[in-house]
Structure 1
């Protein structure tokens, strides 16, 4: 091996060692695909989670879904014998889910982190910390791009291998809280960024093209024609002169041309290339990968988010955008954090009413309907707005002004009382 080849080999090994020490994943590791969460695209762009998050559409979709999920309280409930349920405040898991997932994070921080990992990598992982008697005391989030899942051939159980900063941690099923996204094998969820890398790559290429055009002062399709061949000295002088008119900061300046110099245009400008339309199309295209309506992230070129359509949009977003993720998290809590003996008695439930709390008119209509039709008491309605209970407010009531048509006459006779000394018309007729 030559000296140059030996140097290249040493440099390559040093790069591998540095990459592995920083990420915990070697270039020959199967987890490299999860670490990149993407890959090359038709446009030549290498799509990774970090690269995709630089697109405002991807960032807005992930932030919208993750923060909306985290803003809805997740609490543990206990099933009662009459089919009703109450909050299981005495269960140790209640505090972990609703109050303090770990020593460093609040519930909204923890659940937004878990949901964001699911949206970026297709999976959310947390290490389950237990005390001596086996009760769960904390959930510590783990990076999905550092995790691999294997099935033990001898026991049939799952083994989770986590590599981070040069250290490897092997965990069993009882030590992992795993939320899986859409999947084909049931072991690992599929990353939307991996599946949509062609669409994301096209959006990244469009952003790069737009950025370079602004960097060149929107003159990338323009050239200056000289009246004759120039010497090297003349070319250098011309470039120095034209440098005052390049760059976005100099856009709009008009150069002074002398001696027969001309400005010519070649190719297509940004509008002819439909660059703006391509970027707008990319917004709707990327929103489909995350199940978000473009108007929910501020893309309101052809729609609006005001008026009566706002409530229906929230309902659509809750039913089709959030509900699958809420169900995944609730069922993952039962599968990973509750022992089999408690799964029929305890369950985790998101309070989706918090999503519609901002619509005071809709909430007032809902409460009025519930109280007037007898399936909610006045004190239960007041408790939803953190108001104190009132005396007599625990009785179910229903309006009774509607009676059958056949009972109208009877009700009239019962309510009719003749004046003293006078008989009714019916009695006069009988006399």
Structure 2
């Protein structure tokens, strides 16, 4: 049955993936470059965007929570807590697992994780599956995930596969952002390749040596030897003058206006790639139009409009695969803690805590907990500003006339 389900093509090579319902698993030729989820990482802007998004998703604390009535507590005793918070499998920490999965989503459009269960159905591990080794296939009237790697070929039920998708055209598969924008990324890769050849001297000559008189048959050889000897004499020297015989004239070639626009094209391409991944330009070291004031605002926008959609994507997929409906009904759920990304400067945190304490919705010990400080006796009492306090019935405001 397995032979009928799985392909016989080797899948170890990421350039030969078997993702169904999607053409975008293969690379795309663009001019003189080959754009794939792997080769595109050689372009600095793509690498920076993927690293920024993957590291931010990975660094946030990930907890199992339980809501019991009006109270919400961290469910540290739940077996899933250790897996998603500390160690999902023997090869990865929680950080490296989430970082890798987010990289797969942004590169191949799909991130797969096998849910390992005991005979009793309890979750005991989370094994990362490579997107080029995994496919969604239909057998009879049901779907299943097929995986072919160095451990062999096997199928995984849909309920046991955490499948986080990028934006796609169907309800089952995501599309690779890299290959959806192969034109833009290919332009950047071509510009980078041209720049490399330009500065290595292969794209255009540095200058022209002209001869005032007529050159005899063996003159070219003597001319080349003379020029090479003069060039070698100046190698490593600064502020030296190149002396030429009277019959030779050297004219340096300046950079053409077209070549001078190369740097502007690369800047534009970097900005376009940042837009594809919805990453603020300053976060990939593009500080040309950044100021201290708008960087702070852009950081907040980054959390709201870039990280939050991915957080919702992760949370909803983890919830439906790690918990049964009974567990969900009992109040269990997974939650990312975004407080670290919105932590702010010491001055900003102090101002935030001041209003939280004086307005009466946070105690001083809760503030200390946020700052990783031990509680102090007597600081659990909630304080309320006099201006925010509810006046006692019967008390008269100053200046209020008697009835």
For the aligned pair, the TM-score class normalised by the smaller chain equals 0.7 to 0.9
The yes-or-no answer on 1:343 pairing with 2:343 is no
Q: 1:128·1:138 contact (CA, 8 Å) conserved in 2?
A: yes
The yes-or-no answer on 1:298 pairing with 2:285 is yes
* Higher RCO, Cα 8 Å, sep 6+: 2
Question: TM-score, structure 1 length as denominator?
Answer: 0.79
- CA deviation string 1:32-84 (max 9, x = no partner): 95554x4112x3321112221111111111111111111110111112222x4
- CA deviation string 1:294-331 (max 9, x = no partner): 11111112223x3x434322211101111111111101
Which structure has the highest helix share of the two?
1
Structure 1 residue 104: Cα displacement: 2.0
Q: 2 CA distance for matches of 1:251 and 1:192?
A: 49
Which residue does the alignment assign to 1:352?
A: 338
Structure 1 residue 23: Cα displacement: 2.1
Q: 2:79·2:123 contact (CA, 8 Å) conserved in 1?
A: yes
Which is further off, 20-29 or 117-126?
Answer: 20-29
Which residue does the alignment assign to 1:422?
A: none
Structure 1 residue 389: Cα displacement: 2.0
- CA deviation string 1:133-184 (max 9, x = no partner): 22112112121122221234413xx321223359433222133211111111
Match of 1:49, SS state, is coil
Q: CA RMSD in A?
A: 3.5
Which residue does the alignment assign to 1:40?
A: 29
Q: 1 CA distance for matches of 2:389 and 2:51?
A: 53
Match of 1:20, SS state, is coil
Match of 2:341, SS state, is helix
Identify if the C-alpha distance between structure 1 residues 325 and 243 changes in structure 2 by more than 3 Å, giving closer, same or farther: farther
The yes-or-no answer on 1:200 pairing with 2:211 is no
Q: 2:50 aligns with which of 55, 62, 71?
A: 62
Match of 2:314, SS state, is helix
Identify if the C-alpha distance between structure 1 residues 30 and 347 changes in structure 2 by more than 3 Å, giving closer, same or farther: closer
Structure 1 residue 352: Cα displacement: 0.4
Which residue does the alignment assign to 1:361?
A: 347
Which residue does the alignment assign to 2:76?
A: 89
Question: TM-score, structure 2 length as denominator?
Answer: 0.84
Structure 1 residue 127: Cα displacement: 1.8
User: Structure 1: which 5+ runs fail to align?
Assistant: 1-16, 415-425, 427-431
Q: 1:217·1:251 contact (CA, 8 Å) conserved in 2?
A: no
Match of 1:343, SS state, is helix
Which residue does the alignment assign to 1:173?
A: 158
Q: How many residues in Structure 1 have an aligned counterpart in Structure 2?
A: 387
Q: 2 CA distance for matches of 1:22 and 1:239?
A: 51
The yes-or-no answer on 1:372 pairing with 2:358 is yes
Identify if the C-alpha distance between structure 1 residues 49 and 263 changes in structure 2 by more than 3 Å, giving closer, same or farther: farther
